[in-house]
């Protein structure tokens, strides 16, 4: 798996070790974890055996020789955030997202934890803990991916001594299949959604209700709603024009009377104009974390199970499916690239499917009656005339 290379002379050897982990070559000096250099080939072989075992177990970074104190996780977070500001278009939002995602790793392992000491076992234990707390696969993947990007950047900038990437060996939970039915905790029932809207309509929470109502009554994503301007809202015709959606296409979404009334009342706020963002509160639109916290407060206030903000979009599609709307129409309303994605809502319409199947009959045909033989015409009788 690895081999030894002498970069010195026979009298004064300088042994280096070369081995592979995760398809990448790692070349280090033949030193122990304490920093003592190998003076003989036998000592170098002993160190190589230790590194090979660690590479197989995915813990090579934990046994490589250290140089100095090393970079801590808190320092990695701060320096990576500052370095990323100059390379992305929306520096402020990227910095917030990166700081939040890396903040979970810092909270788990500590501000002063050395980056070089992270092992695959540490990250797998963190993954299992997130699963035990009910985090979804995508949430776990986002946190590990951002940590992986930060580690790769630190290795490229030579801020750490490790040359392996422990996140590469961490297996994620199995992904949900395309069109897999929703679970009950993924959406709100119509009764629960109605109770939540009523709770949000209280005078002290009138600023919370519009964006929740828009997500619930239009099926729009939170990112689409945060970019929506009043020029794209047609209250007279009852429609929203969502620009640059997830699939990079504009989408026209019709809205009902309930949402039109909510938006009309919200439009009367003094800071709104034709060019302003619809869901701005004063001079800015609250970010996703604020909206998530408000939704959780609404769930707690109504005695409902906590759900992510995207559950409002699932609730919209599930309610349409319960009312017998076909999946192709729901797919167009949601802006899905394929109707296969919309198949996750098909289980909600089971009652309609049973009603449709109940009319299906395959009765055995009754035997056809035998055709009647035509009656023969009687021959006239001959009379003898005397």
Catalytic residue numbers?
A: 221, 246, 310, 313, 336, 345
d(CA 312, CA 218): 9
Our measurement of the distance from residue 357's CA atom to the centroid of its chain's CA atoms, rounded to an integer in Å, reads 36
The 15-21 sheet, strands edge to edge: 3-6, 15-21, 24-29
In this structure, are residues 302 and 201 in contact, taking their beta carbons and an 8 Å threshold? no
H helix or E strand, kind and range, residue 29: strand 24-29
In this structure, are residues 79 and 106 in contact, taking their beta carbons and an 8 Å threshold? no
Q: How many other C-beta atoms are found inside a 10 Å radius of the C-beta of residue 259? A: 20
362: which 2 tokens? 């395959």
Q: Measuring CA to CA, which residue among 67, 73, 81, 57 is closest to residue 35?
A: 67
Q: Measuring CA to CA, which residue among 253, 291, 67 is closest to residue 158?
A: 67
373: which 2 tokens? 């033989």
Residue 28's DSSP bridge partners are: 17
Q: How many other C-beta atoms are found inside a 10 Å radius of the C-beta of residue 252? A: 14
CA distances in angstroms from 33 to 26, 38, 48, 99, listed in the order given: 16, 11, 12, 32
Helix, strand, coil % (nearest 5) of the chain? 50, 10, 40
Q: Which residue has the tokens 């810092």?
A: 106
Report the interhelical angle of 190-200 vs 209-218 (nearest 10°).
Answer: 160
CA distances in angstroms from 251 to 97, 220, 246, 316, 333, listed in the order given: 27, 10, 10, 16, 8
d(CA 294, CA 308): 11
Q: What is the Cα gyration radius of the chain?
A: 34
d(CA 272, CA 264): 11
């Amino acid at each position: 798996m690895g081999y030894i290379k002498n970069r010195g002379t026979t009298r004064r050897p300088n042994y280096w070790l070369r081995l592979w982990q995760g398809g990448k070559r790692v070349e280090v000096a033949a030193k122990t974890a304490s920093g003592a250099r190998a003076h003989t080939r036998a000592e170098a072989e002993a160190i190589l055996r230790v590194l090979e075992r660690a590479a197989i177990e995915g813990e090579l970074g934990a046994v490589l020789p250290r140089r100095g104190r090393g970079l801590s996780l808190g320092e990695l977070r701060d320096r990576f955030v500052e370095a990323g500001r100059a390379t992305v278009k929306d520096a402020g939002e990227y910095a917030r997202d990166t700081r939040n995602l890396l903040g979970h790793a810092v909270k788990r392992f500590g501000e002063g934890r050395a980056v070089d000491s992270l092992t695959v076992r540490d990250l797998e234990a963190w993954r299992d803990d997130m699963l035990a707390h009910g985090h979804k696969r995508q949430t776990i993947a986002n946190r590990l991916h951002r940590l992986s990007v930060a580690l790769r950047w630190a290795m490229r900038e030579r801020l750490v001594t490790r040359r392996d990437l422990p996140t590469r060996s961490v297996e994620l939970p199995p992904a949900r299949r395309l069109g897999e039915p929703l679970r009950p905790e993924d959406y709100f029932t119509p009764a629960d959604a109605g109770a939540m809207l009523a709770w949000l309509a209280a005078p002290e929470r009138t600023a919370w209700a519009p964006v929740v109502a828009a997500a619930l009554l239009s099926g729009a994503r939170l990112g689409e709603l945060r970019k929506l301007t009043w020029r794209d809202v047609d209250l007279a015709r009852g429609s929203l024009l969502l620009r640059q959606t997830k699939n990079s296409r504009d989408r026209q979404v019709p809205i009902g009377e309930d949402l039109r009334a909510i938006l009309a009342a919200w439009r009367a706020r003094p800071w709104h104009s034709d060019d302003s963002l619809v869901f701005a509160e004063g001079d800015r639109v609250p970010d996703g974390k604020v909206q998530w916290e408000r939704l959780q407060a609404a769930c707690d206030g109504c005695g409902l199970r906590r759900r992510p903000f995207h559950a409002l979009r699932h609730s919209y599609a599930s309610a349409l499916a319960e009312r017998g709307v076909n999946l192709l129409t729901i797919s167009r309303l949601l802006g899905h690239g394929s109707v296969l994605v919309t198949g996750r809502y098909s289980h909600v319409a089971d009652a309609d499917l049973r009603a449709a199947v109940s009319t299906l009959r395959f009765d055995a045909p009754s035997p056809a009656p035998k055709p009647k033989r035509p009656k023969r015409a009687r021959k006239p009788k001959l009379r003898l005339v005397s």
